[in-house]
Chain A
Amino acid sequence: MDHKIYILIVEDELEVLDALVKDLEKFESFFPLETANDTTEAEEVIDYVLDHGHEVGLILCDHVLPGKNGVDLLIELQDNPKTAVSKKVLVTGQAGHEDTIMAINKADLDHYIAKPWTEEELETVVRDQLTDYVIENKGNLLYFMQILDAEKISSAMRNNKMTDH
């Protein structure tokens, strides 16, 4: 499949980024991973992905980053129609109460993962978010059944059929 749905991970600490990537490798055959160390790089990567005709399905973002912080980035991406549909998850141990509230209200944050995360937790959140993303944005859901939440996808397919008729 030439058209790809990317997962973008924004994290400035390389060891932490490495660990996140390792835990999400299992999705990579369907959803290629991209990484960025700061928000500027994240924006460049997103532009690159979109310019090449792909889409960004999920953005996992740390909060404390050099330059703009993670919440500000997520808010900007929410305001951009091209990335408004992307699922947004904050992965951080450091966002304060106010930042998190702002992320929920203004960036339509889909999930919050506190560090340290467990592989199981991360996997569940990513699978759920990607499932929602493909149900909301994609036609050919059958293709994703083997990697995402099969039950949810098949019920979505039934519903789609019903509305088609």
Chain B
Amino acid sequence: MSQLDGQHVLEVRDLQKSYRDGQGRFEVLDGLDLTLDRGEFTCILGRSGSGKSTLLKCIAGLEDYDGGEILGNTNEIGYVFQEDRLLNWKTVDGNLRIALESEGVPKAEHDERIERYLDLVDLAKNADDYPLTLSGGMRQRVSIARALVIEPEILLMDEPFSSLDEITARDLRKRFLDILTELDQSVLFVTHNATEAAFLAETIVVLEHEPPAEVKTVIDNPLPYPRDIDSEEVQSLKREIISYI
């Protein structure tokens, strides 16, 4: 965990992972390399089943890997899942508080942090509501606030907008980008949506479509924030990305 140079918050070297299935071993990751700079927003783009979610799970420590190494402070990770994964029996406030308690954030800071991050996702008024009384988009915003409230070194996001309807997803992407530019957060974002990648990321890592996951190409996206998802630049970048997948 120590040989990381100052610029990088995460380095994945030669990562290997396979599952056992009926016919033998099935390679999901075979020597994958990846780096994430401090404050950088990187999208990993690949088709369903290309091993991108497995990569995130390995980084978060949810799955063991067979070979290679992951360098970085992986204890300080915020995670936004495809589903909101909120505890429905706790209020919005309670869902954030339990994350703070578990991550050992001093109690004195809890109230202030919860207020700040709920405000950031525009849900300050809903602190005492139960998740099931909120809409899908609001719940996903709570889950983003939960990941941010612990002020993680790395934010991992696994297709967080893909289970929402397109109008809500559009709105949420825009809000989310505003928040991130304010926080200077390092983000690793997995998606299969080329427009989403072109709109959000500074670096886009395109994976091979068939597993095992290998990096096919890396595209830099120098467009300044704030961006417009319907602009010609974003759309032409999207076409470039699609040409690789």
Q: Do A and B originate from a single complex?
A: no
Binding site for A on B (CB under 8 A): none
Binding site for B on A (CB under 8 A): none
